[in-house]
Amino acid sequence: MKNIFLILSFFCIITPVCSQELVKSPAPFGPLPTQKQIDWQEMEFYAFVHFSLNTFTNKEWGYGDESPELFNPTHLDVRQWARVVKAAGMKGIILVAKHHDGFCLWPSAYTERSVKNSPWKQGKGDLVKDLAEACKEYGLKLGLYLSPWDRNRADYGKPEYVTYFRNQLKELLTNYGDVFEMWFDGANGGDGYYGGANETRKINTLEYYKWDETYKLIYKIAPKTLVWGVGPSEARWIGNEEGRAGKTNWSLLRQKDELAGKVHYTEFMSGHEDGEKWVPGEADVSIRPGWFYHSVEDDKVRPLDEMVDIYYESIGRNATLLLNLPVDKRGLVHENDEARLKELVTTIKADFKTELLAGTKISANNVRGNSAEFAAKNVSDGNKNSYWATDDPVKTASILFEFGKPTAINRILLQEYIALGQRVKAFNVELKVDGTWKTVATETTIGYKRILRIDRVKASALRINITDSKAGIVISNIQAYNAPTFVRMPEIQRDKNGDVTIKTEDKNPVYYSLDGKNPTKKSTLYKGVFKYNKAVTIKAVAIDASENISSAVKTAKYGASKENWKILSASSGDLALANRIIDGNPNTDWSFGNDANQLPQEITIDMGSILTVNGFTYVPQQVGNNLNLISNYEFYTSLDNVKWTLQSEGEFSNIKNNPIEQVKTFKKDKARYIRFVAKSAVSKGATVSIAEINVIETL
């Protein structure tokens, strides 16, 4: 009898254990990432390096006729690049091994247009090899960019060029170790040198390169390499060059439709909820306005505010961040760029210094099979492979974090277990304040990682409510932080009459200087609009009085104000509205040229007095979907409106994808009159627009 009792007791003990073991893991749902794609997403942040002939010709896109002998960096140090990248917390470097001008940074056996015919290292250098070794030394991964378009090659557009392109791919993928990402630019076909033909060549991007065959070649040689860009790629462009993903960002894409030309690139920001393939987004952006180095941009490094926003709107929105560092003529990452990176790292580290949820009481209103294997506490255990999961039919659920005492929160980080698919369609966040629940965020997708910035709230509990999901919920990580107060820089504007306006968020007091020195509390307090119509450098800083925290310094440079500027003539367009291009407001614009008035078109301006100028800027239209962008230009100056000097001509390279202020410099000269000629438009349009024309004065 005693033995029977013991046996029954034994079964009573083991039955709950057996029932827990019978709880199955959630089944995968929808398109899934490969392990290669998961490893790539976990890199999160890595560098782009643009450094080539364009660095020495001051171009964004070389035409293809530039001499290899121009490539001659004086202090090239790829280990410095690696040190800077490593210190910034980036996990790899993608090098532009060949850009559109066809110049190769390795001694390719298939062309003479490479470093072997440059003065650098007496033609014995191999920049790709040097960088591969530096990456290995610093524990970084190497990626490579090879432009499919080659403006130099005489055979571009013919079948034999595709063979040349693939031969160079083989060189890059077999001679330098593992390549984590192969980057193919979408710019293909157009005008170029083409071996002296100097003509425009059009190709069908999706058909010409026979991408299916090219991809098979890559995967045969380098199966660990993720391929980005055109064709049946494993990751997608985010649809802009601003480094920002959409608030809704699916890692899925209707790639069949894309390959059939049925998907507009603007859809890449958000992906497709109903996409049939896992193609996550990569957000690319340069730390400066241009992709290649231009000395005129040394003071135009993106401000800290913008860099922080980019971080949160890329990595914090289910994308990776590819940040470009334009190496300078010395062959070094410029000190201004390095300084900004250090500021960014300091800010992000401070934001995520102390995690707040690990010590909380965690519960959920549904746990898969009531099994500890899928318990709510898994979201806070630091194990990326454990997760909280709900029962299969449950597509709405809540997870609760209760603090021991009221705790200040202003950052919330969430991650799905993407190995089982991306599921969450909508969620909200609530904080319990003085016994009352307050909704602080209502959002859509999560994916690999979602980071929310909210106003600081002191709460006794945090609740995440998944309000819609494609399938059972699978969340691997939830964290919360109280980031330090971040004071945003003020904005400085000056109109054509010289009236200066400085704006700031949160009504923080602003101090400014006009002498080029960084302002402090001892500087002039901004009290309202003031007039300053001379050439000037204005610097301003906002200061949070309650916490005595300063913003970064905002700098704005202006020439003499445009109050005496007049539009003299234009070859077409409504002359009565042409003043919009000299009103100091980049959000107003003016158009000229049409089917009846074919390009080129020109406009002539009287600056009212003789100025010493050494450049000009063209601000393209900023508002609207069709920006009517100018691609090629001429710029003239005159003292008397009779004799004209051509000061600059060429193209606004990459303006289609990066429609920012275009800066062109030339040898200084005196002028009273300027003439701007729009020679051709992006996509061969008939109408072009201008938001603002400025000159660069020599002070």
What is the chain's length? 699
The predicted structure's pLDDT at residue 312: 98
Give dist(CA 470, CA 423) in Å, integer.
5
| Number of other CB atoms surrounding residue 160 within 10 Å | 12
Tell me if residue 664 falls in helix, strand or coil. Answer: strand
Dihedrals phi, psi of 394, to nearest 5 degrees: -85, 110
What is the average per-residue pLDDT within 34-58? Answer: 97
Q: What strands lie across the sheet with 141-146, from one edge to the other?
A: 226-229, 181-184, 141-146, 92-98, 45-50, 319-326, 281-286, 236-237
Nearest by Cα to 60 from 219, 241, 217: 241
The predicted structure's pLDDT at residue 699: 66
Give the bridge partners for 95, in sequence order.
Answer: 49, 144
The predicted structure's pLDDT at residue 565: 96
Whether pLDDT at 1 is above 60: no
pLDDT-based confidence at residue 20 (cuts at 50, 70, 90): very low
Q: For a pLDDT cut of 70, what percent of the chain falls above it?
A: 97
Residues 6+ apart with CB under 8 A from 101: 52, 53, 54, 61, 62, 63, 64, 66, 150, 151, 152
Give dist(CA 476, CA 380) in Å, integer.
8
The predicted structure's pLDDT at residue 16: 44
pLDDT-based confidence at residue 8 (cuts at 50, 70, 90): very low
Give the bridge partners for 459, in sequence order.
Answer: 407
The predicted structure's pLDDT at residue 546: 85
Give dist(CA 104, CA 150) in Å, integer.
11
Nearest by Cα to 661 from 614, 686, 629, 625: 629
Question: If DSSP states are collapsed to H, E and C, what string results for 222-245?
Answer: CCCCEEEECCCCCEEECCCCCCCC
The predicted structure's pLDDT at residue 627: 86
The predicted structure's pLDDT at residue 202: 93
For 596-631, write each residue's pLDDT tens digit. Answer: 999 999 999 999 999 999 999 999 998 777 889 999
Whether pLDDT at 158 is above 50: yes
DSSP single-letter state for residue 104: B
What is the average per-residue pLDDT within 109-116? Answer: 98
What is the average per-residue pLDDT within 28-42? Answer: 98
Residues 6+ apart with CB under 8 A from 564: 607, 608, 609
pLDDT averaged over the chain? 94
Q: How, if at all, do strands 450-469 and 397-416 pair?
A: antiparallel
The predicted structure's pLDDT at residue 14: 42
Alpha-helix residue ranges (DSSP H) falling in 209-334: 211-221, 255-259, 304-314
Could you write out the DSSP letters of every residue in 428-452? EEEEEETTEEEEEEEE---TT-EEE
pLDDT-based confidence at residue 21 (cuts at 50, 70, 90): low
Whether pLDDT at 13 is above 60: no
Whether pLDDT at 38 is above 60: yes
For 448-488, write each residue's pLDDT tens digit. Answer: 999 999 999 999 999 999 999 999 999 999 999 999 999 99
Whether pLDDT at 563 is above 80: yes
Whether pLDDT at 144 is above 60: yes
pLDDT-based confidence at residue 587 (cuts at 50, 70, 90): confident
Please tell me whether the overall predicted TM-score, pTM, comes out greater than 0.85 for this model. Answer: yes
Per-residue tokens: 103: 């110049």
Q: How, if at all, do strands 688-690 and 590-592 pair?
A: antiparallel
pLDDT-based confidence at residue 656 (cuts at 50, 70, 90): confident
Q: Helices H, strands E: what count in the chain? A: 11, 35
The predicted structure's pLDDT at residue 5: 43
Per-residue tokens: 660: 């920012």
Give dist(CA 618, CA 665) in Å, integer.
12
Give dist(CA 240, CA 85) in Å, integer.
23
Q: For the chain, percent helix, then strand, then coil, each to nearest 5?
A: 25, 35, 40
Place of tokens 């040190």: 83
The predicted structure's pLDDT at residue 505: 82
Give dist(CA 228, CA 283) in Å, integer.
12
CA gyration radius for the chain?
29
The predicted structure's pLDDT at residue 560: 82
Q: Are the beta carbons of 693 and 567 closer than 8 angstroms?
A: no
Per-residue tokens: 633: 């230009």
Per-residue tokens: 189: 């076909």
Strands (DSSP E) contained in 560-640 are 566-570, 590-592, 601-619, 630-638
What is the average per-residue pLDDT within 329-349? Answer: 97
What is the average per-residue pLDDT within 396-408? Answer: 98
Q: Between 451 and 699, whose confidence is greater?
A: 451
| Number of other CB atoms surrounding residue 28 within 10 Å | 12
Positive or negative, the Cα torsion across 125, 128, 133, 135? positive
